[in-house]
């Protein structure tokens, strides 16, 4: 994963990382689905686009097992497993 990784590849990574999230972990943001150095390699604009793409995924394909909740003070969308 580097600065040339496509948004669709990043979204796939985020979706695959959901298997590592446990219900008892509570709420999480998209950033939590990446290791710190991976997240920092994604440009700010692409992070915003990735967040929008992930929200769309949650509202459609992932609606049966994940839901969006409120936002963080930094305006990041929070999610939790159903």
Q: How much is the average pLDDT of 70-80?
A: 96
- Round to whole Å and give the CA distance between 3 and 61: 27
Number of domain units in the chain? 1
Query: Has residue 30 been placed in a domain?
Result: yes
Length of the chain: 82
Give CA angle at 77 (24, 8), nearest 5°: 100
User: Is position 50 within any domain?
Assistant: yes
- pLDDT score of 3 more than 80: no
Is the residue at 1 inside a domain? no
Of 70, 65, 72, the closest CA to residue 21 belongs to 65
Enter the pTM of the model: 0.91
What Å distances lie between residue 28 and 5, 17, 22, 23, CA to CA? 23, 12, 10, 10
> Domain residues for 31?
7-81
In a domain, 2, yes or no: no
> Contact, 19 vs 12, CB < 8 A?
no
pLDDT band at 66 (very low <50, low <70, confident <90, very high): very high
């Amino acid at each position: 994963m580097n600065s040339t990784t496509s948004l669709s590849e990043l979204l796939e990574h985020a979706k695959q990382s959901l298997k590592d999230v446990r219900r008892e972990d509570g709420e999480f943001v998209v950033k939590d689905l990446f290791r710190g150095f991976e997240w920092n390699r994604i440009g700010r604009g692409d992070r915003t686009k990735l967040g929008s793409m992930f929200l769309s995924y949650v509202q459609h394909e992932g609606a049966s097992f994940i839901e969006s909740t409120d936002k963080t003070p930094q305006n990041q969308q929070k999610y939790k497993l159903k």
